Amino acid sequence: MIGPTPWTPYISNAGMRILRNTYEGPGSHGILRTVAGIKGVHSVLRALPSEGYFQAAFGAGERDGEPAAVTISPLMETPDGSLSPGDLERDLTRAAMNHPETETVMLVHSETSLLANEEAPSPTLPPHPETGQETKLVTCEQATAGIGELEAADLALEALVRAHATLMERSPEPTVNVFGPPLLNPGAAAEYAETVRLLTLIGVEVNACVPLGANVRDLSQLSQAWANVLLYREVGDSATLYLQDTFGTPRVTTPMIGAAGTGSVLRTIGGLCELDTNKIQRAIWSELGQTSKLPWFSRLIAPESLRGKRAAIFGDLTYTLGLGYALAREVGLEVACAGTYLEHLEQDFLFHTNSFTDQAFVTGNPEEAAARLEEANPDVLIGTRVEREVADTLGIPFLPLCAPAGPKAFVERPLMGYVGSSVLADLLEEALNRGQEKPKTSSREIPWTDEAMEGLEETPAFLRGRTRRLAEEYAKETYAGEITRDVLERSRL
Amino acid sequence: MTILNESGVPDVLSPLYAVNALAEMLPDAMVVVVGTRLETYLSRTLPADLFSNAKVQDSPKVLSVILDPEAPPEQGELASQLVEAAAGIRGVEFLLVVAGHSAELLGVNAEFEAHLASRRLSLQTKVVSPDANSPGCLCTDLEDRVLAALVEACPQYTPKPASSDSAAFKRGGFLGGLSLRGRSRADEAREDPVVLLGPSFGAGDELAGDLKRAGIEVAGRVPGTGSVDLPQIGEGTIVALSDPHLATVARAAEKRGAKVVRTLMPLGMDGTSRFIQDISAALGQDSEEPARSQEMWQRLERLRSRIRGKRVFFAGDTGFEVSLARFLANAGAVVLEVGAPRLDRKALGPEIQALGADVDIVESPDWRGQMKRIDESRPDLVITSPGLYVPLVARGHLCRSSLDILKSGVHGYEGARRILELFAQTFDRADALDSVHL
């Protein structure tokens, strides 16, 4: 039997990439996602008239009714003397004037606008009509046309924090800032809620939740906090580093996923907030007894039912690492491979995954990710919505737990904290049971003829994975015993 | 009739949204989107976000080339990528390269690269830009440009010198003779071929059927079943458009010498009837369409009664709103406002006239202003743009997305029935939900 050739990485020409799809949107999208979650900040997107989309994406993803505080300043030629939008300086001023809730205006450039390299005006914005306070204008200077969604989001949040944070007296009672995921991340609001619940439990108050749910005043008072809890490093890294450098606020960076991860975060916070260690431990034990069911699940499940079971994870940084630790250590599943699409965090990712899997990889190309995941041949796949196709091909249970994951669920469930660990236990139990009921009907066992293999070799590398999957699926559907040249040809588009 | 230009930023989808539908519309074509991550996001990720369950939103025949601003491509590099991309998909006859400002700003000469790729692959290529430099972009703009390119690629039509009689004779046969006798009036008229241009939204065959029943044979369509399967267009062809915003297509056809029939869109009973009548007139035929459509109209009374008196607001994003509003007004609805991101007065002239004096059209509407007006006038139904759908539903308005309406297939008499049915269902469902004691 001849199996498909192992994946050979597709080397693109200098910088140029040909893809079927991407995981990350453009930098401008990441900035808007981050800023739209902060009250009092109005974004002005400088973009071509054909590049306006944020309201639609926001509505479809968030589904909660309020339009986002985002206005477009169309990059186009308007006749002299026209008062229609298009004059950036006037559009910035209008954003401040027409929206009384605006305290800060964030100027965001679309990719095309960045490439056009127009000189950005820096008008003095009219003061707030009621408070008389100065309206700030913030731009993310470091964003370039080439960077991805989350890197830009990280830089933009830093720019906002830089523009607002002032030196303040540390709060008398211990408080922390929570730096979590932005809008449109799966379960984002629930992650904050669970974190706030746990902090309250150990007697720590929340100074600010950033970016989701923060307001401009929160941003200016960040230095009051005793520590910054970094739930989502992808977006809060630079901002918390800035706060550490400028105000000396320490950071807690362990992913708060799984019971072990959560306990570790709580103990670290306790240390930084000078809390009684015994009190923290009692709170943790009480939670382990009542809320956190992942350790309980691990003890209940028969060891045989996990023997030889392998999971694969593909996603961003925080969730992939956190889930990887939890599955490997707390549940005892073998992590067959772990991957991320965040190419700018490659070193960080490979360093951490080292502790729970031998097979770590970084790629922004869904085709390559699919090939790697298939090669690992796991029994359970955790990924973004793009990986569903791979799970279907392999005939294995699929958990879409990583962003991008589609529209927001009406009942949001956390994956972080102790409640999150129980949610994970439920999901895993269901997935493992599902996998047991149905024997794995992988289409990959269908043999390929030499001729068909040659045909596959002829397809360009970046399409090979998909072509192979289509052929195997087609063979399965048509009950073809082997994949011949003919099957391959007919399965293709 | 008031036409107000609000000079706002309308809530519209990017023309790149249409890329997937275009790829499906042109069966032997492959679409390559060239640009930054933004173009890929707009053409691939966003449509999937907006319609998570629609397969057609994620066409496998669309590929993205993401350029690296730090290392812009050398001359010829893009062409090599295009060649490799096209080689991976079987049966590609036509390569459509979508490249806009960003590619241009990165120094890519898309025309040159496509030409190079076209020579190496020996297949047709065409470059279109999704971008507009002027206000009022519509999600159908890309279709307009692509279809115009197809019209340019159509073979030239040369009228046959032989009389229509001899042509019919050649077809001969007993049945042929019969049908000839039955249509003797039409025979006296010219037999200019009629070509339909425009995306059909799934109902194109129905429109051709409506025309056929009126004695008008459709000689061809663009898009047809494939880009190799293009109809002849030239002097003597009669061209009818199925979408009001196909200005570039209309110009391309006129340049070929074809006669473009300026009439109502074949949307709604009134629109389809006028459409058929005006084509008949262009062919020099008499038409019995008014009587026929009147009869069909009677049969739809049950549905019309559900619409009558309802107050409807059109936010406007697809460009079809003026026609839809005209039909609904004709069916007895009260149209409060029609938003039009762009108002092509030449193409929409007949529509604007037919809409009547009581309706306000707001050109280039500002979406925040629209929301305010909707809150004030509390319409029974709002036909919304994509960004306003969720906020307006949250404010308690009954909404339908304009794209949902288009997707159901709106052309022709059958399309008119579907539109009414869709609205009737919408009201029925709202009534049912309102009657639940919560």
pLDDT in tens, B18-47: 888 888 888 788 899 999 999 999 998 888
- pLDDT (tens digit per residue) in B101-156: 999 999 999 999 999 999 998 888 889 998 876 677 888 888 899 899 888 888 88
The 10 Å Cβ neighbour count of residue B177 is 13
* Averaged pLDDT for residues A395-420: 91
In this structure, what are the phi and psi dihedrals at residue A260, rounded to the nearest 5 degrees?
-65, -45
Q: Is B356 helix (H, G, I), strand (E, B) or coil?
A: coil
Residue B204: per-residue pLDDT:
59
**Helix%, strand%, coil% for chain B, nearest 5:** 50, 15, 35
ipTM of predicted assembly, 2 dp: 0.87
Q: How far apart are CA B390 and CA B315, in angstroms?
A: 13
CB contact under 8 A, A18 and B85: yes
What is the DSSP pairing of strand B29-35 with strand B2-5?
unpaired
CB contact under 8 A, A77 and B133: yes
CB contact under 8 A, B71 and A71: no
* Averaged pLDDT for residues A284-295: 94
* Averaged pLDDT for residues B223-228: 67
Percent over 90 (pLDDT), chain A:
61
Q: How far apart are CA A297 and CA A292, in angstroms?
A: 9
Residue B182: per-residue pLDDT:
40
In this predicted structure, the answer to whether residue A443 has a pLDDT above a threshold of 80 is no
How many angstroms separate the CA of residue B420 from the nearest CA in chain A? 26
* Averaged pLDDT for residues B220-230: 74
Residue B165: per-residue pLDDT:
46
Q: Which of residues 405-434 of B touch A (CB under 8 A)?
A: none
Residue A493: per-residue pLDDT:
55
In this predicted structure, the answer to whether residue A217 has a pLDDT above a threshold of 90 is yes
In this predicted structure, the answer to whether residue B346 has a pLDDT above a threshold of 60 is yes
Measure the N-to-C terminal CA separation of chain A; round to a whole number of Å: 26
CB contact under 8 A, B42 and A74: no
Q: Amino acid identity, residue A192?
A: Y
Q: How far apart are CA A319 and CA A231, in angstroms?
A: 10
Q: How far apart are CA A161 and CA B408, in angstroms?
A: 48
Give the burial class of A173: count Cβ atoms within 10 A of its Cβ; 0-12 exposed, 13-18 middle, 19 or more buried. Answer: exposed
CB contact under 8 A, B73 and A112: no
Contacts of A92 in chain B (CB under 8 A): none
Averaged confidence pLDDT in chain A: 89
In this predicted structure, the answer to whether residue A415 has a pLDDT above a threshold of 90 is yes
Cross-strand partners of A312: A337, A381
Select, from the ranges A178-182, B7-11, B354-358, the one with the highest average predicted confidence (pLDDT): A178-182
**Cβ-based neighbours of B71, under 8 Å, separated by 6 or more:** A14, A15, A16
Which residue in B42, B68, B387 is closest to A16 by CB distance? B68
Identify the band that residue B228 occupies on the pLDDT scale cut at 50, 70 and 90: low
Residue A51: per-residue pLDDT:
86
Q: How far apart are CA A484 and CA A472, in angstroms?
A: 10
The 10 Å Cβ neighbour count of residue B1 is 11
CA B205 to chain centre: 14
- pLDDT (tens digit per residue) in A384-406: 988 988 898 888 999 999 988 87
Q: Are B231 and B224 in contact (CB under 8 A)?
A: yes
Contacts of A48 in chain B (CB under 8 A): 100-101, 131-132
Residue A7: per-residue pLDDT:
41
CB contact under 8 A, A16 and B37: no
Cross-strand partners of A28: none
Residue B53: per-residue pLDDT:
53
Identify the band that residue A49 occupies on the pLDDT scale cut at 50, 70 and 90: confident
A29 interface with B at CB cutoff 8 Å: yes
In this predicted structure, the answer to whether residue B203 has a pLDDT above a threshold of 60 is no
**Cβ-based neighbours of B411, under 8 Å, separated by 6 or more:** B200, B201, B203, B204, B206, B207, B242, B266, B267, B272
CB contact under 8 A, A493 and B390: no
CA-based Rg of chain B, rounded to a whole angstrom?
Answer: 23
Q: Are B419 and B268 in contact (CB under 8 A)?
A: yes
Q: Is the dihedral of CA A191, A192, A197, A201 positive or negative?
A: positive
Q: How far apart are CA B304 and CA B332, in angstroms?
A: 7
CB contact under 8 A, A84 and B364: yes
- pLDDT (tens digit per residue) in A58-116: 988 888 888 999 999 998 877 777 778 888 999 999 998 888 889 999 999 999 999 99
In this predicted structure, the answer to whether residue B170 has a pLDDT above a threshold of 50 is no
* Averaged pLDDT for residues B333-352: 90
Contacts of A149 in chain B (CB under 8 A): 37
CB contact under 8 A, B131 and A48: yes
Residue A33: per-residue pLDDT:
95
State which residue of chain A sits closest to B6, comparing Cα positions: A84
Q: Which of residues 431-490 of A touch B (CB under 8 A)?
A: 458-460, 462-463, 466-467, 489
In this structure, what are the phi and psi dihedrals at residue A215, rounded to the nearest 5 degrees?
-125, 180
Residue A11: per-residue pLDDT:
42
The 10 Å Cβ neighbour count of residue A84 is 18
Whether omega for the bond prior to residue B223 falls within 30 degrees of 0, making it cis, is yes
Q: How far apart are CA A473 and CA A144, in angstroms?
A: 41
The 10 Å Cβ neighbour count of residue A241 is 15
Identify the band that residue B335 occupies on the pLDDT scale cut at 50, 70 and 90: very high
Which residue in A26, A83, A98 is closest to B41 by CB distance? A26
A interface mutation test: which of B45, B128, B133, B375 has the most A CBs within 10 A? B45
Q: How far apart are CA A386 and CA A369, in angstroms?
A: 10
Cross-strand partners of A452: none
Taking CA atoms, A66 is separated from A259, A406, B183, B309, B381, in Å, by 35, 19, 60, 30, 19
State which residue of chain A sits closest to B15, comparing Cα positions: A50
Contacts of B94 in chain A (CB under 8 A): none
Higher-pLDDT residue of A119 and A375 is A375
In this predicted structure, the answer to whether residue A466 has a pLDDT above a threshold of 80 is no
* Averaged pLDDT for residues B224-245: 83
Q: Which token pair is B270? A: 């009134």
**Cβ-based neighbours of A150, under 8 Å, separated by 6 or more:** A24, A30, A234, A235, A316, A342
Contacts of B390 in chain A (CB under 8 A): 59-60, 62-65
Q: Which token pair is B374? A: 């909707």
In this predicted structure, the answer to whether residue B336 has a pLDDT above a threshold of 60 is yes
Q: Helices B268-282 and B289-299: crossing angle, nearest 10°?
A: 170
Give the up-direction half-sphere exposure of residue A389: CA atoms within 13 A in the CB hemisphere: 18
Taking CA atoms, A372 is separated from A23, A116, A369, A469, B65, in Å, by 16, 38, 5, 13, 22
* Averaged pLDDT for residues A284-293: 94
- pLDDT (tens digit per residue) in B236-265: 899 999 888 898 999 999 999 999 999 999
In this predicted structure, the answer to whether residue B180 has a pLDDT above a threshold of 50 is no
Which residue in B63, B81, B130 is closest to A50 by CB distance? B130
The 10 Å Cβ neighbour count of residue B363 is 21
Contacts of B130 in chain A (CB under 8 A): 50
In this predicted structure, the answer to whether residue A380 has a pLDDT above a threshold of 90 is yes
Q: Are B261 and B282 in contact (CB under 8 A)?
A: yes
B105 interface with A at CB cutoff 8 Å: yes
The 10 Å Cβ neighbour count of residue A407 is 15
Q: Which token pair is B66? A: 């993401």
Cross-strand partners of B65: A18, B34
Q: What is the DSSP letter of A23?
A: S
In this predicted structure, the answer to whether residue A38 has a pLDDT above a threshold of 90 is yes
Q: How far apart are CA A183 and CA A54, in angstroms?
A: 12
Q: How far apart are CA B310 and CA A305, in angstroms?
A: 61
Which residue in B15, B89, B90 is closest to A50 by CB distance? B15
CB contact under 8 A, B38 and A51: yes
Q: Are A229 and A178 in contact (CB under 8 A)?
A: yes
B73 interface with A at CB cutoff 8 Å: yes
Q: How far apart are CA B117 and CA B346, in angstroms?
A: 38
Q: Which of residues 330-389 of A touch B (CB under 8 A)?
A: 385
Helices (H) and strands (E) in chain B, counts: 21, 14
Q: How far apart are CA B248 and CA B280, in angstroms?
A: 24
Residue A320: per-residue pLDDT:
97
A121 interface with B at CB cutoff 8 Å: no
Q: Are A387 and A381 in contact (CB under 8 A)?
A: yes
Give the burial class of B184: count Cβ atoms within 10 A of its Cβ; 0-12 exposed, 13-18 middle, 19 or more buried. Answer: exposed
Averaged confidence pLDDT in chain B: 85
Q: How far apart are CA B403 and CA A294, in angstroms?
A: 44
What DSSP assignment string belongs to A130-171? Answer: TT-PPPEEEE-TT--TT-BHHHHHHHHHHHHHHHH----PPP
B399 interface with A at CB cutoff 8 Å: no
How many angstroms separate the CA of residue A301 from the nearest CA in chain B? 35
The structure's pTM equals 0.89
In this predicted structure, the answer to whether residue B171 has a pLDDT above a threshold of 90 is no
Contacts of B67 in chain A (CB under 8 A): 15-16
Q: Are A389 and A469 in contact (CB under 8 A)?
A: yes
Q: Which token pair is B20? A: 């997937």
How many angstroms separate the CA of residue A470 from the nearest CA in chain B? 11
In this predicted structure, the answer to whether residue B226 has a pLDDT above a threshold of 70 is no
A61 interface with B at CB cutoff 8 Å: yes
Whether omega for the bond prior to residue A182 falls within 30 degrees of 0, making it cis, is no
Q: How far apart are CA B210 and CA B214, in angstroms?
A: 7
